[in-house]
Structure 1
Amino acid sequence: MSASRDDGLKQVFTLHRGRLLLTVLLLWTTMLAGTALLGLSGGFLTAAALAGAAGLGSGFNFFSPSAGIRGLTMARIASRYFEKLVGHDVTLRIARDLRVWFFRRALPLAPAKLAGVRTGELLARLLSDINEVDGLLVRAIGPLIALGGVSLAAVGSALLIYPPAALLLAVLALVIGLGVPWFTVRGAGAHERDRALHRAQLRTQAFEGLEGAADLTALHARDHWQQRVNVAAKQLRSRDRRRRWRLVAGNALHGLCASVGLVAMIWLALRAFERGAVDAAYAAALVFLTVALIELWAGIGLAWQSWLSGRVAAGRLESIVDQDSGVEDAAAPVTLPAGTAVLELRDVSFRWPGQGRALLQNVNLRVAPGERIALRGDSGSGKTTLSALMLRLWDPEAGSVRYGDVDIRMVAQAEWHMKIAWLPQNAPVFAGTVADNLRLGDVAASDERLWQVLADVRLQAWAEGIGGLNAWVGENGATMSAGQARRLALARALLRDAPVLLLDEPTEGLDVDTAQALLQDMVAALGERSLVMITHDELPEGIVDCSYRVTNGGCFDRVFENLEATQ
């Protein structure tokens, strides 16, 4: 699957259309066999009871119905087994591909377009919403299609036996199959969206509470946050209760319609038998056929509810991934010059979407090959925005970012990202081995290269002490100190071997000695690469060649006019 806009959610299901059709066919076969089994058994038992012992011994057709019952029983068992086998297999495949689809479509939006979405909200989309969508086959689409097919087959069979009975079954199918579900789910779309929103809010509150447990404890705010989680849980519980009552009302209406329909069919079958229109066996078969259909139709309301929930969840997923990305590749991308080159910002201006004033205006900056510079400034002055423009997470409103005198808007994003390595402020250490974390920088790196980059950042002895490249580092680097985690992230960035290294607050949260040792090791490992470092900290001598301060002329209500160089 490509990451284009044509790569929609329906495409995920289309990839598995063969298995989906087979699952629906098996489900239909199971339902049809069960319905036919009950109808045939009812008719056979009635005929046997009326024939009595004497009839069973003289001319009564015992073997054909018995063979039919055995055949339908085996068919139902086999189809049920394979329906579960194939259905769960395709559901798991769809669940896998939905997550891949979501990540593939969402990752190009990060961090620019996803910056305003809370992590807990994204987690809710990944867990709850995808779970609702990947179960559409088992809970909604398959049962509804199969029920429709079985209902048509049952009405057709009744038409061959007694046309008025077929008319009654058709009316019951419309009332119970369409009318009752419509009553159950009418106006429920808004309720489902509200329920999904509150479910996401509860997940967000719980996730953020766990993630920030240390800070909440330090601020004596755990009870307050727990109260917020409790409120969110109660709000979701009230929505779930409303949903259950709606389903209960639908079940009650279904039971009422089913009872009236069954009584009507019994009356109709008895009248037909009395008038000689059908014999007793067929009259009983019609009644038992109605019983079987009513039992199957009992799941229609829940299937429609699952369909509605799945549609709401699909809409929530698409609302994330269908956003326009902050940048687009040129129709005919040009090639960047080989090797190192000058990175330059020319008269760059930028304002965030929806903001009235420009955050950056007429900014000029030049980074020569192998040059190391630092960008300083107050929080909110535009330093991180400059890094976003250099990474081409956003394009400038005016001016250009150029590499080797080529506007990077004319270059394929993948090619540009091979030229620049980024170490963000909170670079994560992923749950996995040392090698897993490092090879995010270069998947083809050899073990020798990994050991070399670990030595460059002085982590070789640490890695050897914990068991080597295959040692587990834990979630978020739980087994590492803050300095070790930052060094591992730096090693990952250095492993990319890109000519430009962009660092965002690389020493944030580290003590002075650890920070200075990290910077010294980083400079030694840079070689001929260029360095752009965003920092608030004072740097030891020799770390950078030049330092720039992003200013606003000392007046908060004016735009940032320039970059003042300080040697």
Structure 2
Amino acid sequence: MTLPVATPAAARRAALRLVRADARAVAAILGLNALAAAAGLAGPWLLGRIIDEVRAGRGPDAVDRLALAMIAFAAVQLVLARSARTAGHRFGERAMARIREQYVERVLALPSGVVDRAGPGDLAARGTGDVAAVALTLRDAGPDMLVAGVQALFLIAAVVVVAPPLGACALLGLVGTWCAARWYMRRAHAAYLAEGAANAQVAEVLAATAAGARTVEALGLAQRRLAAGRAAIAEGRRTRMRTLGLRTVLLPGVDLSHAAPVAGVLVLGGVLHAQGTISVGAVAAAALYLRQLVQPMETILWRLEQLQASTAAFARVEGLATAATPRPADPAPTSDGGRTAPPHGDRVVVRGVRFAYPGTGRDALHDIDLDLRPGERLALVGPSGAGKSTLGRLLAGVEAPRAGTVAVGGVPLAGLGREELRRHVLLVTQEHHVFLGTARENLRIAAPAATDAELRAALAAVGADPRDVLPDGLDTVLGPGGHRLDGAAAQQLALARVVLADPHTVVLDEATAMLDPTAARRTERALAAALAGRTVVAIAHRLHTARDADRVVVMEHGRVTELGTHDELVENGGAYAGLWGSWHGTRPTIG
């Protein structure tokens, strides 16, 4: 699955929102740039006046006054241009901060199913290279293009005012620049989107290979992974050569278009001066204006290439807005403008649930009906691919059903706010994350107000002795650069967070898979004691978990085929009895 990309219209609306969020700064930038460009127009005009004064035989006093005026206007232009650039950079930094904050919010709002299906490579590429490209444009390219655009408009207007016939020649000479830029822009957006996608694929291949390095080595997959890496890099090179080819057409065409207007003004100006209709000073001023026009036009067109790349990057960053489905912090609004009522009770009910993963075209779950009794321990068992983990994700509100409802206390999970949902139901998987910070900070993610005594009690509840796993106790710095926990200790840290979060319903999906069988059994018993009185749904891959449960749900091909206690199902002689006999006799795990 590929994360979506924003449409050009959506990207433009997002850019306008950034501008409106700092409208005063944008107005100041425009004003300062306009004043700086106006001050810059004085130099060529004054030089033309000096030429005409000298040809008229006037004294040095007039020339000195005009020269001093040129210096004064140049100084004013320098101050105004510096102020405009400073204001532009400040605007860019503020806008960049908004984009980064919004990106983090949207990533955190992505359904975990979307993240799982998309893979980490695309998200990493968007959060690093794409955000950096947008930030560079806002900080550097955007202000540069704005300054250059204002300068170009003023210079063209000055040529027209000083000598209208020469101004018409200059405008005709710009047609080539316009044609080259239009040709480039019609092709560049798609080319840069393809380049961004190819870079994301390279990142995905590298991340997957690095994460599975031990598996690659154990199964002898090195050559296969190298081939996948070479293919991704080759595609990245192909897309890069495409964008480079577009630039090799754009830039020479622009250079030719720059030279043509100046040559045209000099030729036409010479003819008009010979006819006595224009002064040498006016021709010199017009030629200097056009020579000055080269610099802002080159800036615009050079930055245009960067703008196209950042526009594609911005579309990829903004694309997360369509993939993110943030839950409100408060209860979700109802159709009549009210608020969803809070759940009454802890009972979780599943009715007529069907679910299909995006892009598969077929249901993974079919007509599931299930009542979870408050305080019971329910085990989900079945072969791999039966739909156990999928049902667990629906019970925790991670995924939403295609049809039917999953409700707690009579309220659909989809109608609960983000904070309220986690107060009721929590999913714990074998995947865990240790954040950079102290053990205390890692634990307080689940309960910000918890005391040190409560943190230690939570660790003890899941069978972890802080003195054994944390050299400096709760002050132990964890994560990259700090104390590294092994898989078992990290999993116990995650389970301690569950104890601290204190939901009334917990879904455990291979929550002890990182532990060895003995440690897993010990942790499961400790966790069962800590979660006493709560509803626990355990996706069981070790059947002793099912034996200890109050009821067992057997799933096959996305359907519930058996439901009852361990003893009842064994006596019935159905699928569960077969699984129990196979596991108890020869195999330690299923699924």
Q: Which TM-score band applies after superposition, normalised by the shorter structure?
A: 0.7 to 0.9
Q: CA deviation at 1:501?
A: 1.8
Correspondence 1:466-485 to 2 at 5 A: 466-475=471-480, 479-485=484-490
Q: Which amino acid aligns with 2:435?
A: F
- What residue in structure 2 maps to residue 269 of structure 1? 269
- What residue in structure 1 maps to residue 528 of structure 2? 523
Q: Cα 1:130–1:410, aligned 2, differ >3 Å: closer, same or farther?
A: closer
- What residue in structure 1 maps to residue 307 of structure 2? 307
Q: Cα 1:489–1:61, aligned 2, differ >3 Å: closer, same or farther?
A: same
Give the distance between the partners of 2:183 and 2:64, measured in 1 at CA: 46
Q: Cα 1:433–1:82, aligned 2, differ >3 Å: closer, same or farther?
A: farther
Give the distance between the partners of 2:21 and 2:249, measured in 1 at CA: 38
- What residue in structure 1 maps to residue 125 of structure 2? 124
Q: CA deviation at 1:252?
A: 1.2
Give the distance between the partners of 1:450 and 1:45, measured in 2 at CA: 83
Give the distance between the partners of 2:246 and 2:363, measured in 1 at CA: 51
Checking the alignment, whether the CA contact within 8 Å between 2:42 and 2:73 is kept in structure 1 is no
* Corresponding residue SS for 2:537: strand
What fraction of aligned residue pairs are identical, expressed as a percent?
23
- What residue in structure 2 maps to residue 214 of structure 1? 214
* Corresponding residue SS for 2:435: coil
Give the distance between the partners of 2:271 and 2:527, measured in 1 at CA: 94
- What residue in structure 1 maps to residue 72 of structure 2? 70
- What residue in structure 2 maps to residue 153 of structure 1? 154
Checking the alignment, whether the CA contact within 8 Å between 1:30 and 1:80 is kept in structure 2 is yes
Give the distance between the partners of 2:381 and 2:112, measured in 1 at CA: 22
Task: Name which of 552, 563, 566 aligns with 1:548.
Answer: 552
Give the distance between the partners of 1:136 and 1:90, measured in 2 at CA: 11
Larger deviation: 394-403 or 178-187?
394-403
Correspondence 1:468-507 to 2 at 5 A: 468-475=473-480, 479-507=484-512
Correspondence 1:260-409 to 2 at 5 A: 260-323=260-323, 325=325, 329=332, 330-331=334-335, 332-337=338-343, 341-353=346-358, 358-409=363-414
Give the distance between the partners of 1:118 and 1:246, measured in 2 at CA: 31
Checking the alignment, whether the CA contact within 8 Å between 1:95 and 1:134 is kept in structure 2 is yes
- What residue in structure 2 maps to residue 234 of structure 1? 234
Checking the alignment, whether the CA contact within 8 Å between 1:36 and 1:289 is kept in structure 2 is no
Question: If the length of structure 2 is used for normalisation, what is the TM-score?
Answer: 0.82
Q: Which amino acid aligns with 2:246?
A: R
Q: CA deviation at 1:292?
A: 0.5
Give the distance between the partners of 2:161 and 2:214, measured in 1 at CA: 73
Give the distance between the partners of 1:476 and 1:221, measured in 2 at CA: 30
Q: Where does structure 1 lack aligned partners over 5 or more consecutive residues?
A: 1-5
Q: Where does structure 2 lack aligned partners over 5 or more consecutive residues?
A: 1-9, 568-591
- What residue in structure 2 maps to residue 109 of structure 1? 110
What count of residue pairs does the alignment treat as equivalent?
Answer: 551
C-alpha RMSD of the superposition: 3.5
Give the distance between the partners of 1:229 and 1:103, measured in 2 at CA: 28
Q: Which amino acid aligns with 1:90?
A: F
* Corresponding residue SS for 1:62: helix
Q: CA deviation at 1:484?
A: 0.7
- What residue in structure 2 maps to residue 3 of structure 1? none
Give the distance between the partners of 2:551 and 2:287, measured in 1 at CA: 89
Give the distance between the partners of 2:450 and 2:27, measured in 1 at CA: 44
Deviations 1:95-145 (A, max 9, x none): 222232233334333113333212101211222333333344456554444
Checking the alignment, whether the CA contact within 8 Å between 1:40 and 1:69 is kept in structure 2 is no
* Corresponding residue SS for 1:341: coil
Give the distance between the partners of 1:369 and 1:407, measured in 2 at CA: 17
- What residue in structure 1 maps to residue 20 of structure 2? 14
Deviations 1:376-408 (A, max 9, x none): 221111111211221223333454333234444
Is 1:82 the counterpart of 2:83? The answer is yes
Deviations 1:332-357 (A, max 9, x none): 4433346x622233454444456565
Q: CA deviation at 1:290?
A: 0.8
Correspondence 1:417-436 to 2 at 5 A: 417-436=422-441
Q: Cα 1:358–1:61, aligned 2, differ >3 Å: closer, same or farther?
A: closer
